[in-house]
A and B are shown apart, each in its own frame.
Chain A
């Protein structure tokens, strides 16, 4: 039996990582859905794919890409797109997402989500690439706002204007990572609350929540780094509350990728997010 969300906007999911495969299959935790990194399942066969097939029989699934490099000046990797399409065919995910970033140039791929300058040139290029990806995959994709550590001198648009316009032009949806909003806002002196206010609620198709860490340099300067290695901080919960107040009632994911804790802690975070969603439902009547 495949579970279908009764109300997909009120479901909280958890990022599924290798250490929790067996726990999930044995305990069937009451999670709304799971999200995996698409590239971790690009192989031809083997136990990881077999685990995911078994988990998919019990839960809705979202595929979150980290390697398509939508912002690459070299164009999209057609082989990567083909493999993603095969994976979509195999697992029928209810969401497919990627990032507003680039990772590949001159046949060199960096396992990182590097921001693009927000210029007319990159807007045109990203719109083409998103359009190409959606046409090839035959479905809508979601684009996640990045955690950024640097801004470009050449940027002429704000990140919110750039991302919103891009999604309006291409028909893509926004994957709003609220931890990324908080991290980038701290790193660049933006107003995180104003960032959320600038995002139209109807464009948000998914929300991510995660933890991050602080990096202090020898000169005393500090940057927040999106490490996904801790609980969601209070400030990010407050921003999530604001997002719900703005009507962003989208499937919400708890992400944790480093120093992965036992599954119970992820469930606590998911339950907390569900609590925020239920409060809103009561408030709306």
Chain B
């Protein structure tokens, strides 16, 4: 009698193509291979669907057939299987795989676009917190601004790419007809302050400013470290408050 651990390991091997597990199955009508295929199919289709739910824009961008093919190829490697029963946290490795996957390798922007979509997925389920509004600063002494430390909302993620991801997203949304293969960077801030996830496209200096805030630098430290000539402080602060980018503030000692 085989022990349970050995039997479960044989199932894992069967997922990778080994037939030993079939020897554990009682012969009774439909063949052991057919019986086992129901489980393999449930697993593959279930995980492919989970990826399609996490990366709907990527599916839209490259088409369902191509995306499904990439997903099934991704799932052939054991290292890509989920490690826990919480599938909401699984799938972060898919963009790296797309970068190496021959049929999509020529789409240089694809893996970064998928990475951005992963952040969109993570932001959707991030911790809830009421964003700071302009009223939080209404009665603040302007002299305290220098000591202000602003915390980005828990759902805020910053992402930069060597490719114009704003254009790629425009194509998916039907706002742009084609992607120009120009060498232009893009800078994104992904956030879900309330119900919906938003992607804000930033300038390079705004991206640097928010990156310093995300690291915990005070407002004045962040401003000192970026190119002040390019930076519009009041416009950026106003934009931040209007879009719920901050969740907390404190004063440095």
Give A residues with C-beta under 8 Å from B.
39-40, 42-50, 65-69, 71-74, 77, 79-80, 83, 102-112, 114, 116-117, 119, 121-122, 125, 149-155, 187-189, 215, 217, 219, 221-223, 225
Contact = CB atoms under 8 A, between A and B. Distances in A.
B35 A149 contact: yes
Contacts of A107: 83
Given A45-B128, A107-B83, A223-B38, A189 B28 contact: yes
B11 interface: yes
Given A39-B87, A77-B84, A80-B85, A219 B43 contact: no
Interface of B: 1-5, 7-9, 11-12, 15, 23-26, 28-32, 34-36, 38-39, 42-43, 46-47, 50, 78, 81-89, 124-129, 154-155, 192, 195
A68 B4 contact: no
Given A149-B35, A150-B36, 10 more contacts: A67-B86, A68-B85, A106-B9, A110-B43, A111-B50, A119-B1, A150-B26, A150-B35, A153-B23, A221-B29
B126 A77 contact: no
Q: Please list the 9 inter-chain residue pairs (A to B) with the smallest Cβ-Cβ separation, ordered nearest first.
A: A67-B85, A43-B125, A45-B128, A73-B5, A221-B30, A105-B8, A150-B35, A111-B46, A149-B38
Contacts of B82: 108-109, 111
Residue picked from A45, A69, A189, most chain B C-beta under 10 Å:
A45
Given A106-B9, A111-B47, A149-B38, A42 B29 contact: no
Q: Which of A79, A105, A108 has the most CB atoms of chain B within a 10 A radius of its CB?
A: A108
A104 B85 contact: yes
Contacts of A43: 88, 125
Given A44-B127, A80-B86, A110-B43, A150 B25 contact: yes
Contact of A112 (B24, B30, B32, B39): B39
A46 B192 contact: yes
Contacts of A49: 128
Contacts of A187: 30, 35
A199 to B, nearest CB: 22
A47 B2 CA distance: 46
A110 B86 contact: no
Contacts of A221: 29-31, 34
